[in-house]
């Protein structure tokens, strides 16, 4: 896939010439969310919004036909996202590609759901507010996702598909933790790791029996 690349790094130790231990960064590249290949379900989401816009007069008949044709021929998520940027607020877009932005619930409620791209690492802050991450239709960029959560008298809720395991680590003081996912992940399914620093509040993980996850995770989508 062409286009810009996101750099992901993990630290490792190496010995400098003077004998001191230093951190080095081993950098691997993954496609940017905009460069990921689009699926038929992604195209259908965009076309639904285009049809709604044509129905209420935001698009003319000619504009609707032209954009629908471009949607059917779109190759990447970025190609599709361009077709709806002027039709809805960022939070209402059929495809949400702002995965590098931290999720902030500060004296407010912030939600990530629908078809959105989840990076390998995701910072989340819930301070006297609530953050809800619904991964049932999400497109995961890694087999293992790490959520770095800061919770202060707030709530962090994760909704994951059946078979996905969520592991919680970190320091949690006076925090209610609820995790209703299996202890071991099903074969071929991703693992969500939550590293939390929490004082008060709630960290809740649920996995509804009837998932509406429409193929958001596929083994072929993951970097090897």
The domain limits of the chain are 1-97, 98-224
Q: What is the pLDDT of residue 14?
A: 40
Structure tokens at 129: 């507010």
What's the rounded Cα separation, in Å, for the pair 110 and 104?
Answer: 7
Exposure pattern of 1-39 as b/e (b: 16+ CB <10 Å)? eeeeebebeeeeeeeeeeeeeeeeeeeeebbbbbbbebb
Spatial neighbors of 134 by CB under 8 A, at least 6 apart, are 111, 112, 113, 114, 159
Which residue in this structure is represented by tokens 């933790």? 177
| pLDDT score of 99 | 65
The reported pLDDT for the residue numbered 224 is 42
Q: How far apart are CA 197 and CA 171, in angstroms?
A: 5
To the question of pTM greater than 0.85 for the whole model, the response is: no
Phi/psi at 49 (5° precision): -70, -40
- Give the mean pLDDT per block of 10 residues along the chain (224 residues): 31 40 40 88 95 96 97 95 94 83 93 91 96 94 93 97 91 93 82 96 87 45 45
pLDDT at site 8: 32
Pairing of strands 191-199, 165-173: parallel
Q: What is residue 30's predicted lDDT score, i.e. its pLDDT?
A: 66
* CA dist., res. 180 & res. 164, Å (int): 10
Q: What is the pLDDT of residue 29?
A: 52
Cβ contact 83:50 at 8 Å: yes
Whether the CB-CB separation of 56 and 159 falls below 8 Å is answered with no
Question: 190 near 217, Cβ under 8 Å?
Answer: yes
What integer pLDDT is reported at residue 10 of this predicted model? 38
What separation in angstroms does the CA of 59 have from each of 70, 90, 185? Answer: 15, 18, 45
Strands 109-112 and 191-199, bridge-based pairing? unpaired
80 φ/ψ angles, rounded to the nearest 5 degrees: -70, -40
Q: How far apart are CA 148 and CA 104, in angstroms?
A: 12
What is the rounded CA–CA span in Å between residue 121 and residue 147?
Answer: 6
Tokens for 69? 């044709």
């Amino acid at each position: 896939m062409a286009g810009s690349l996101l750099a992901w790094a993990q630290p490792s130790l190496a010995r400098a010439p003077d004998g001191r231990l230093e951190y080095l960064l081993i950098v691997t590249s993954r496609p940017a969310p905009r460069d990921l290949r689009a699926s038929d379900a992604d195209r259908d989401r965009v076309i639904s919004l285009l049809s709604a816009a044509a129905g209420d007069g935001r698009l003319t008949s000619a504009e609707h036909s032209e954009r629908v044709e471009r949607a059917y021929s779109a190759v990447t998520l970025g190609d599709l996202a361009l077709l709806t940027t002027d039709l809805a607020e960022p939070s209402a877009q059929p495809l949400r590609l702002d995965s590098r932005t931290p999720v902030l619930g500060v004296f407010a409620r912030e939600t990530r759901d629908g078809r959105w791209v989840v990076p390998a690492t995701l910072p989340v802050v819930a301070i006297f507010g609530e953050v809800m991450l619904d991964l049932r239709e999400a497109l995961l960029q890694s087999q293992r996702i790490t959520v770095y959560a800061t919770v202060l008298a707030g709530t962090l809720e994760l909704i994951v598909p059946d078979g996905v395991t969520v592991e919680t680590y970190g320091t949690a003081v006076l925090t209610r933790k609820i995790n209703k996912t299996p202890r071991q992940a099903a074969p071929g399914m991703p693992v969500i790791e939550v590293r939390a620093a929490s004082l008060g509040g709630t960290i809740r993980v649920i996995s509804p029996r009837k998932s509406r996850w429409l193929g958001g995770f596929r083994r072929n989508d993951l970097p090897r």
